[in-house]
């Protein structure tokens, strides 16, 4: 009698059945994992990403093509800026790391270690990166040297499958600590940058920090992986680099919880109808039924982070879900989850008047009616 499948084997088989026969899984990267952390309540994204479904192709098959992604111009500009920051063996980058993070004497241009991370395949590059980090940490203890690792390769286990991650840079300080460096092409103006973009960069960097912690955990003693990452951006409206230290402990905690949730992805799959499959070659009506069988948690922020956002937005608006208006408003409305419920409560047709959300809605409706009345207009129904 053959041995029963292990839990990991059974999970991989389950995910393959959801993805479709003979369809290779789409590998998760740091952006995808960061997007999961940004919307931890979305079971739909958790399941599809855990199964390795190509959401862009799925969106096309559903008739709601994705508008998600960077323009070629933005990619070119970002690559040029990153090359400028890393020029001369990372001299300018190391200067910024020392200036904002400390961790040892000022780096001398040309004296920092820049190990070769070339290897065959992602597994080979991951092993080579781990070896380079081990050697750099030992070298820091002996001689107090700085080490600059350009595009190292890290790995995280996601639902039983390794996700290979490639941060812009990792720096080993002379004191033996490790810092993730994230390079972005959006500007820092007067020392500050767009909060939404900084938040997205912090979530992405937190994924790298988590992966680095796994590498550090195999060393004895384990070196410290700093929870403050260095975000490097153009200064004001120039192409000159500047930097800011960003604390990612909150994002790190959310990412850990979300990855733990992905390892229990079979719990989500168990609630699906028998035979559910997201194979993009299936008819559109079958795919729609399969996608709709998994609960989603749409919010406007999804438009910048998920390929299925247009499909989910259409469904949320069709159902009148208040989440389509933003998470902040959804939180303020408490138990009122649809636009119809909100309007009914505002006009006094339903809702508990002792509920703060209901009371605030009715007061707002009265003020609106009074304001329109002052102008001699009838107070139309809110829409």
Sign of CA pseudo-dihedral 149, 151, 152, 155? positive
Residue 67 has a pLDDT of: 67
What integer best gives the mean pLDDT of the chain?
86
How confident is the model over 249-275, as a mean pLDDT?
81
Residue 380 has a pLDDT of: 46
Residue 297 has a pLDDT of: 86
Could you give the CA distance from residue 209 to residue 207 in angstroms, rounded to a whole number? Answer: 5
pTM (2 d.p.): 0.76
Give CA separation, 30 vs 6, 96, 164, in Å: 28, 24, 8
Are 210 and 226 in contact, with CB atoms under 8 Å apart?
no
Count of other CB atoms within 10 angstroms of residue 164: 18
Count of other CB atoms within 10 angstroms of residue 141: 13
Checking 307-310 for CB contacts under 8 A at 24+ apart, the result is: 307/55, 307/56, 307/58, 307/59, 307/66, 307/68, 308/44, 308/45, 308/48, 308/55, 308/58, 308/59, 308/62, 308/64, 308/66, 309/66, 309/67, 309/68, 310/59, 310/64, 310/65, 310/66, 310/67
How confident is the model over 247-253, as a mean pLDDT?
93
Which range (177-186, 188-197, 263-272) has the least confidence? 263-272
- ∠ CA 337-200-153, nearest 5°, is 130
Which range (256-260, 264-268, 348-352) has the least confidence? 264-268
Residue 343 has pLDDT above 50, yes or no: yes
Residue 212 has pLDDT above 50, yes or no: yes
147: three-class secondary structure by DSSP:
strand
Half-sphere exposure of 66 (CA within 13 A, CB side): 18
Residue 378 has a pLDDT of: 42
Burial of 87 (0-12, 13-18, 19+ CB in 10 A): exposed
Could you give the CA distance from residue 381 to residue 243 in angstroms, rounded to a whole number? Answer: 51
Residue 72 has a pLDDT of: 74
Residue 370 has pLDDT above 90, yes or no: no
Most confident of 5-19, 121-135, 321-335: 121-135
Q: Which residues contact 193 (CB under 8 A, 6 or more apart)?
A: 186, 187, 231, 233, 244
Could you give the CA distance from residue 184 to residue 104 in angstroms, rounded to a whole number? Answer: 25
Name the H helices within the chain: 7-19, 30-38, 43-50, 55-61, 72-101, 121-143, 195-216, 249-263, 265-270, 284-292, 309-319, 327-332, 339-346, 356-374
For residue 24, name the pLDDT band (cuts at 50, 70, 90): confident
For residue 272, name the pLDDT band (cuts at 50, 70, 90): confident
Which tokens is 57 given? 């192709």
Residue 324 has a pLDDT of: 81
Residue 1 has pLDDT above 90, yes or no: no
**HEC string for 49-81:** HHCCCCHHHHHHHCCCCCCCCCCHHHHHHHHHH
How confident is the model over 31-38, as a mean pLDDT?
78
For residue 347, name the pLDDT band (cuts at 50, 70, 90): confident
Phi/psi at 165 (nearest 5 deg)? -120, 145
For residue 3, name the pLDDT band (cuts at 50, 70, 90): very low
Residue 305 has a pLDDT of: 81
How confident is the model over 202-219, as a mean pLDDT?
94
Residue 170 has a pLDDT of: 97
**What digits encode the pLDDT tens for the residues 89-115?**
899 999 999 999 998 899 988 889 999
Considering only residues 70 and 131, tell me which one the structure prediction assigns the higher pLDDT: 131
Residue 383 has pLDDT above 70, yes or no: no
How confident is the model over 29-58, as a mean pLDDT?
84
Considering only residues 208 and 273, tell me which one the structure prediction assigns the higher pLDDT: 208
Residue 71 has a pLDDT of: 66
**What digits encode the pLDDT tens for the residues 293-326?**
999 888 888 888 889 999 999 998 888 888 888 8
User: Both ends of the chain: CA-CA distance in Å?
Assistant: 65
Q: Can you name the residues that pair with 146 across neighbouring β-strands? A: none
Count of other CB atoms within 10 angstroms of residue 343: 18
Residue 368 has a pLDDT of: 87
Considering only residues 340 and 177, tell me which one the structure prediction assigns the higher pLDDT: 177
**What digits encode the pLDDT tens for the residues 225-245?**
999 999 999 998 888 999 999
Residue 221 has pLDDT above 50, yes or no: yes
162: three-class secondary structure by DSSP:
strand
Residue 382 has pLDDT above 50, yes or no: no
């Amino acid at each position: 009698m053959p041995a029963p499948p292990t839990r990991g084997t059974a999970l991989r088989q389950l995910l393959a059945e959801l993805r479709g026969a003979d369809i290779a899984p789409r590998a998760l990267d740091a952006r995808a994992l960061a997007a999961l952390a940004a919307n931890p309540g979305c079971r739909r994204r958790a399941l599809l990403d855990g199964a390795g479904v190509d959401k862009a192709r799925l969106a096309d098959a559903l008739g709601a093509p994705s508008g998600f992604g960077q323009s070629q111009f933005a990619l070119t500009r970002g690559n040029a800026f990153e090359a400028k920051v890393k020029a001369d063996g990372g001299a300018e980058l190391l200067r910024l790391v020392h200036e904002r993070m400390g961790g040892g004497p000022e780096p001398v241009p040309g004296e920092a270690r820049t190990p070769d991370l070339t290897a065959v395949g992602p597994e080979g590059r991951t092993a080579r990166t781990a070896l380079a980090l081990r050697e750099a940490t030992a070298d820091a203890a002996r001689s107090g040297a700085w080490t600059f690792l350009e595009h190292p390769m890290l790995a995280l286990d996601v639902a039983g499958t390794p996700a290979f991650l490639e941060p812009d840079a990792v720096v080993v300080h002379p004191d033996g600590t490790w810092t993730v460096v994230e390079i972005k092409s959006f500007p820092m103006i007067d020392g500050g940058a767009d909060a939404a973009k900084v938040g997205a960069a912090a979530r992405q960097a937190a994924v790298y920090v988590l992966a680095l912690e796994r590498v550090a955990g195999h060393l004895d003693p384990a070196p410290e992986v700093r929870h403050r990452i260095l975000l490097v951006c153009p200064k004001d409206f120039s192409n000159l680099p500047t930097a800011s230290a960003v604390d990612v402990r909150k994002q790190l905690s959310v990412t850990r919880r979300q990855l733990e949730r992905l390892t229990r992805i079979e719990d989500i799959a168990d609630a699906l109808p028998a035979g559910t499959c997201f194979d993009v070659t299936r008819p559109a009506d079958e795919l729609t039924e399969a996608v709709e069988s998994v609960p989603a948690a749409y919010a406007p922020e999804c438009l910048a982070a998920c390929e299925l956002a247009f499909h989910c937005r259409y469904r949320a608006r069709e159902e009148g879900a208040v989440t389509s208006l933003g998470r902040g408003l959804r939180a303020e409305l408490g138990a009122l989850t649809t636009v119809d419920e909100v309007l009914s409560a505002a006009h006094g047709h339903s809702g508990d008047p002792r509920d703060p959300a209901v009371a605030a809605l009715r007061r707002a409706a009265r003020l609106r009616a009074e304001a329109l009345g002052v102008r001699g207009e009838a107070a139309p129904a809110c829409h």
